[in-house]
A and B are shown apart, each in its own frame.
Chain A
Amino acid sequence: MRVLVRLLSALLGLAVAGAGALLALEVGWQWWRPADAPLVLPWPEWRETLATVGWNSSQVRITAALIGVAGIVLLVAAALARRRDVAFADPADEVTVTTSPRSLARVVGQHVRAHDNVTAASVTASARKVRVRAVSALTSERELRPELLDSVATLLGDLPLTRQPKLSVVVDSPKDRR
C-alpha cells in the first residue's frame, strides 16, 4: 500500500503540474495571439458544449459520481498506508527497536506449533492484538485452550514489548464436534 501511495502521489503531482502548465500556456497564448486561439487544447469547443449541458444532465452526474469515487479510492489508499510496526521498549537513549506484525505472528506460530497436541495453527498479530487459531486432533478446546493461553502469554511476556497485545486463542478440535 505504501508503494501504491507513493506512485499515486507522483501521478497526482504530475497531473497538477500538467494542468498548471496548460492553464498558463492557453491563457497566455490567447492573450498574445487571440486569432490562433487554441494552442493545444480545443477549449472553445469545450466552452460551447458546457454552455448547452445542464447541471442535471446525465453526463454531468456520471462525471461527478466518477470524481467522487476516485476521491474515495484515494482516501482509502492513503488511510491504509499507515505503518503497523510493533514497538519494543527502547534499550538505550536514541535507540528505537521495532518489528513487523508478521514477525511477531511468526514467533507465536512457531511456538504454538511446537506444542505437543497442536496439529496446525494460524496466527494473526498486530501491536494491539494477537489471534491464535489452533487445530488439535486429540485434545478438546477446554483442555488445550488454557494451556496455550498460558504459554503464549509467557512467550509474549518475555518479549520486551512496549504494550502487551491482547491475546485470543481459539482451538478447533474434532473432539468438540461430537
Chain B
Amino acid sequence: MTKSVSAKAVARSYRTERGLTFTVGVLALLLGAGVSALGLGWFGTYRAQRPVLDPIALDWLGRQQPALLRVLVIVIGVVLLGFGLWWFVRSLRPERHPDIELDRGEGTALTVTSGAVTHAIEADAETIDGVNRARVHVVGDRENPALRLHLWLREGTDLRQVWADVDDRVLTRAREALGVRTLPTAVRLELGAAQRQRVR
C-alpha cells in the first residue's frame, strides 16, 4: 500500500531507523541465543568443550588463498564503514524543510523559501475561529513538497467548522498564492488545548 503524500507528511518517517534497529536487535538476539546453545552443549557435549577459536576452523582458513581472503575482509570492512557512516548521518540529520519552486523556466527561477510560506500560512490559520495557535512546516522533498499544519484548538471548538475554514480559506489561499492545483497537507490537531488567560 502506498501512502499518499499528505499521509507521509503527518510526521517524520522513522521506518529506516526503526527497521535497522530492529534488525540489529534480531541479529544480537540470535547470536546470543546461538552461542548460549552452543555453550550449553545443545549441539553436542564435545563441541561445547572446544575452544572459541577452533583449530579446525583456523586450519580451514589457513588453507584458503591468503590474498583473496585479505582482500575480501578489507572490502567487507570498507563496505561496513560506508554503510555505517550513511546510517549515522541519516539518523542524526534534521528533517528537511524544502523551499517551494514556483517557476523554473528557461533562465528564470522563482522559489519561495519555506520560512516565508509557513509564516504567511500560520498567520492565516490563526485567524480561524477556535484556533489558538498554529505552526506550519513545509516537509517532503523538492519534487513533492507538502504542508504540515499543527493546530491547537480551544475547548469546545466545532471540528467540522474548523475543517471547512482550513480547507476553504487557508489552503485555498495558499494554493492560489503558490499557483499550484494541489497542495498535500497533513493537519495535526491538538484538541482542548488550554486557553491562556491573560492577567490584567
Contact = CB atoms under 8 A, between A and B. Distances in A.
Interface string B29-64: 111111110111100000111111101000000000
B84 interface: yes
Contacts of A82: 18
Interface residues of A, number: 74
A23 B191 contact: no
Contacts of A154: none
A53 B171 contact: no
Contacts of A175: none
Contact of A67 (B6, B35, B84, B191): B35
B191 A104 contact: yes
A55 B52 contact: yes
Nearest to B41: A56
A13 B183 contact: no
A60 to B, nearest CB: 6
Contacts of B50: 54-55
B174 to A, nearest CB: 12
B25 A73 contact: yes
Contact of A94 (B14, B55, B183): B183
A93 B6 CA distance: 9
Contact of A66 (B6, B32, B192): B32
B17 interface: yes
B194 to A, nearest CB: 9
Contacts of A104: 191
A173 to B, nearest CB: 26
A97 B52 contact: no
In this complex, the member of A9, A54, A71, A92 whose beta carbon has the largest number of chain B beta carbons within 10 angstroms is: A9
A9 B74 contact: no
B21 A95 contact: no
Given A9-B87, A20-B77, A54-B49, A68 B17 contact: no
Given A23-B77, A71-B28, A95-B187, A77 B35 contact: no
A17 B26 contact: no
Contacts of B160: 160
A107 B136 CA distance: 23
A96 B80 CA distance: 39
A50 interface: yes
A5 B189 CA distance: 25
Contacts of B92: 6, 10
B102 interface: no
A163 to B, nearest CB: 16
B167 interface: yes
Given A24-B77, A50-B53, A97-B187, A14 B84 contact: yes
Contacts of A5: 14, 17-18, 21
Given A68-B32, A96-B4, A98-B186, A27 B191 contact: no
A65 interface: yes
Contacts of A56: 39-41, 48-49
Interface of A: 2, 5-10, 12-25, 27-28, 31, 47, 50-57, 60-61, 63-75, 77-79, 81-83, 85, 88, 91-100, 103-104, 106-107, 110, 158-160
